[in-house]
Amino acid sequence: MAKDISRRNFLRGGLAAAAGVAASPIILPTAAQAASGRELCTLLDLSKCIGCEECVSACREQWQPTVPDPVSPMPRPFPAKVPVQDWSGRKDVSDRLTPYNFLYVEHLDVPHKGQEIELHVPRRCMHCLNPPCADLCPFGAGRVENNGVVHIDPEVCLGGAKCKTVCPWKIPQRQSGVGIYLDIMPELAGNGVMFKCHRCLPLVEKGQQPRCVEVCPEQVQSIGPREQILAQAEALARAKATEDGASPDKWQDYVYGLTENGGTTTIYVSPMPFAAVAAAIEQNHAASAQPGRGRAARAKQGGRKKKRGFGGRPPMGPVEDVMAKADNLSLALVLAPVAGLAAGFTRLFGKKFKADDGDSKGEAA
């Protein structure tokens, strides 16, 4: 697989080298983590998935008890337009992402080459390589571990939902009435805690597999070092493209998560191009939207409320790299002080000022 030398990779390497020179043993570039095999990645072969939802049950059984119930009565946030989001009475919901449900399965009939093909797509956090949810969290609650897991610390999160706003798939889900914001200014700032898949971080840290990987009767998912998983994904996608009557060179059309949002550690391989899968998901969501209910429905009906999320059911279309511009601007952060120093040492613009009293130092500068 050809590797792109993107500006991100260039910056990553350069900045990481600078960090290394600064003799900080705790800083390692993401690329180095991947090379050392410590960054883990999952591969989902969708042609194997039978939609039994064993993964969903195992995930819920393991992690739902870790999500607390809200206080009662729940604080009323100020101003009144701030929504209180309480899923504690709907813990049984398993057909979308909620604070109490980190994984669901999208059941689809995908029109492809004149046929309707049944496809089941487990959906959860993609665990991006450079996740905007963690990068842009103002309090450090959003975190990236060196094993590639992206998670939210419920002890620190204030529930502002910024992570959801900047996530291209709107994955994190808020539960109001829980978390540290209750101890600060519950009416004026914060609104709960954001919850999402952490790929069973406590288990993975003990050397165990994520529950969804472990319990799957069809071995839909595999987990391993990213480079190894990418090689597997490419081989599998080439085979799927060939079976589908396409050129093996079109293998990337059968892969999702490889380049989306700059790359993720969740790679899907489908028996048909993902454009068809994305269209089927969109159609599925449109069909299941109940008229007159929910923000999305109101937006569709021309109401004043705008659609902010995907109703806990993320799409699967192309996604641009949210943090790409930050990469470019990082270069400005390096160049600006260098230019400033160069201008200062060469007295650029410095001769245009002088001390009002004619002080020699001022004139020299």
Partner 1 sequence: MSKHDYSPGGRVAVWLYGIAIGLALFSGFGQMPLYNRYYLTSVPGLGWSGNFIALSELHYFAAALFMGLVAWRLALDTRAGGTWSWGPRSWWGWSLIALLVLSGGAKALRNAGVFLPPLALMLLDFVHLGSAMAFMFSGLVSLFRPRKKQYLRGGLA
Q: Which of 217, 303, 318, 362 binds partner 1 (CB under 8 A)?
A: 362
Site string for partner 1, 3-22 (x = CB under 8 A): -----x--xx--xx--x---
Site string for partner 1, 164-193 (x = CB under 8 A): -xx----------------------x----
Least distance in angstroms from the C-beta of 286 to partner 1: 27
Which residues 6+ apart lie within 8 Å of 74 measured at CB?
Answer: 84, 86, 176, 177
Is residue 330 part of the contact set for partner 1 (CB under 8 A)? yes
Q: Which of 144, 182, 197, 212 binds partner 1 (CB under 8 A)?
A: 144
| Interatomic CA distance for residues 102 and 59, integer angstroms | 7
Q: Which stretch binds partner 1 (CB under 8 A): 115-123, 233-241, 264-272, 336-344?
A: 336-344
Please give the structure tokens belonging to residue 302: 């021309």
Question: For helices 7-21 and 324-345, what crossing angle results, to 10°?
Answer: 50
Q: Which stretch binds partner 1 (CB under 8 A): 85-93, 208-216, 232-240, 330-338?
A: 330-338
Does residue 223 contact residue 203 with C-beta atoms inside 8 Å?
no
**How many other CB atoms are there within 10 angstroms of residue 282's CB atom?**
13
| Interatomic CA distance for residues 341 and 353, integer angstroms | 18
CA 303 vs CA 64, 80, 85, 286, 300: distances in Å: 34, 19, 20, 17, 7
Q: Which of 35, 275, 286, 341 binds partner 1 (CB under 8 A)?
A: 341
| Strands ordered across the beta sheet of 266-269 | 221-225, 40-45, 266-269, 255-256
Is residue 162 part of the contact set for partner 1 (CB under 8 A)? yes
Is residue 335 part of the contact set for partner 1 (CB under 8 A)? yes
Least distance in angstroms from the C-beta of 303 to partner 1: 17
Cis peptide, bond prior to residue 25, ω within 30 of zero = no
Among positions 58-97, residues that touch partner 1 (CB under 8 A) are: 79, 82
Q: Which of 27, 71, 231, 286 binds partner 1 (CB under 8 A)?
A: 27
Site string for partner 1, 284-323 (x = CB under 8 A): --------------------------------------xx
